[in-house]
Amino acid sequence: MRKITKEIINKSIEDLTKEALSIRQDTAKKLIERKVKPEKNSNTIKILKKRLAVLLTIVRQKELTKESE
């Protein structure tokens, strides 16, 4: 997860919000697909949610540092 956060920190806020939107859409799709056809790897939704949480946390940190300047 540390590699991912290092990559995310270097992105702009706009890119991060776009990525968060796509992760939300992927999560919604996977939740629906899980009801119809269960996957062998049920951990994918959990991984997507964790990545979304990291993204939103970094976006908020960047917003707060921008406001304080």
Q: What is the pLDDT of residues 30-61, one digit of tens each?
A: 999 988 888 888 899 999 999 999 999 999 99
Q: What is the pTM of this model?
A: 0.84
Give me 13's structure tokens: 């806020």
> What amino acid occupies position 4?
I
Comparing CA positions, the residue from 69, 50, 55, 43 lying closest to residue 13 is 55
Judge whether 44 and 23 are in contact, CB under 8 Å: no
Delimit the domains of the chain by residue range: 11-68
For residue 11, give Cα distances in angstroms to 7, 28, 58. Answer: 7, 24, 10
